[in-house]
């Protein structure tokens, strides 16, 4: 993990915790699935500020079965999918931007708040 952020962030501590915990939990589940499939697994987290904006990027290993609907990852697994919706809701609350991408066994979440 690499982070260069100040104590006075443009987002509440509780929203930042919800965002990070959901993103990292999703990354962990994907990395575990990769490991169980006999593949390498990793999670990389980067955070920094520029001006009054907070940028977060979480990249992790993933299997090629990631499905998207309207640019957002979706799942049909019971009890899953709420984390992504929470991430998007927090980003919208702060007028931020969120992007999700999966390519070549690597999933990337980018958030700007």
CATH code at position 71:
3.30.565.10
Q: What's the confidence (pLDDT) of residue 80?
A: 64
Q: What's the confidence (pLDDT) of residue 50?
A: 87
Structural domain count of the chain: 1
Domain hosting 95: range is: 2-112
Report the predicted TM-score, pTM, of the whole model to 2 decimal places: 0.89
Contacts (Cβ under 8 Å, ≥6 apart) of 46:
1, 2, 3, 55, 56, 57, 58
Q: How far apart are CA 3 and CA 69, in angstroms?
A: 30
As beta bridge partners, residue 97 has 112
Q: Which of 106, 81, 95 is nearest to 25 (CA)?
A: 81
Q: How far apart are CA 32 and CA 46, in angstroms?
A: 20
Overall average pLDDT of the 82-103 stretch? 95
């Amino acid at each position: 993990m690499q982070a260069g952020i100040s104590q006075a962030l443009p987002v509440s501590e509780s929203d930042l915790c919800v965002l990070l915990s959901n993103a990292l939990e999703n990354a962990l589940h994907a990395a575990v699935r990769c490991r169980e499939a006999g593949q390498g697994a990793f999670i990389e987290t980067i955070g920094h500020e520029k001006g009054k904006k907070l940028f977060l990027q979480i990249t992790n290993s993933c299997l090629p079965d990631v499905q998207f609907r309207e640019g957002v990852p979706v799942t049909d697994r019971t009890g899953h999918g709420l984390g992504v919706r929470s991430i998007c809701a927090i980003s919208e609350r702060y007028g931020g931007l969120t992007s999700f991408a999966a390519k070549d066994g690597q999933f990337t979440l980018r958030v700007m708040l």
